[in-house]
Amino acid sequence: MSAIWSAIDTAGSGVDVDQTWIDTVGGNVANMEDGVTPGKPVYQAQYVEAGEQSNGEGVQVNAIDVGPKQGELSYEPDNPVANTQGEVEYPVVDLGSQMVALTEAQASYQANAQVLSDAKTAYQSILDIKA
C-alpha cells in the first residue's frame, strides 16, 4: 500500500511543478508584446528550474530563472511609448520555444494526473476488497 501513497506523492509533486511551468509559459506569452520606452524596465521571461525533492520522492521547483534585463529594440516611431529615436523595447521571448515548453508541460501534467487517477483507482480497489 505504501507504493500507492508514494505514487500519489510523486505524481502530486509533478502536477505542482507542471502547473508552475504552465503558468510561467503563460506569463511569458502574455507579456511578450509589452513594449516599453527604452531604458525603462522590460518584462523578463521566466523559466522554471525543477529538481528532485530532498527525500527523493518527487520533484519540486528549485528556482524561477529570469531572462535578460535588456530587451530587443524595434523601430516603431508611431508607437506611443517610442523614444525620440522611434525605438520601442520588447521582452526577449521566443514564441516557438514557449509553445514547445507549453506542450511539454501539458504532456507531463497529463501523465502525472493519469498516475494520480490510477493510484486512486487502485486505492479504492483495496478498500473495496477489505470491506
User: What 3 state SS string does 14-79 have?
Assistant: HHHHHHHHHHHHHHHHHHCCCCECCCCCCCCCEEEEEEECCCCCCEEEEEEEECCCCCEEEECCCC
What pTM was computed for the model? 0.86
Higher pLDDT, 101 or 121: 101
Task: Give the tens place of pLDDT for each residue, 42-76.
Answer: 999 999 999 999 888 899 999 999 999 999 999 99
* pLDDT averaged over every residue in the chain: 92
Check whether 2 has a pLDDT greater than 80: no
- What is the tens place of the pLDDT at every residue in 24-45? 999 999 999 999 999 999 999 9
- Supply 53's cell numbers: 525533492
Q: Give percent above pLDDT 70 in the chain.
A: 95
With 90 as the cut, is the pLDDT of residue 94 above it? yes
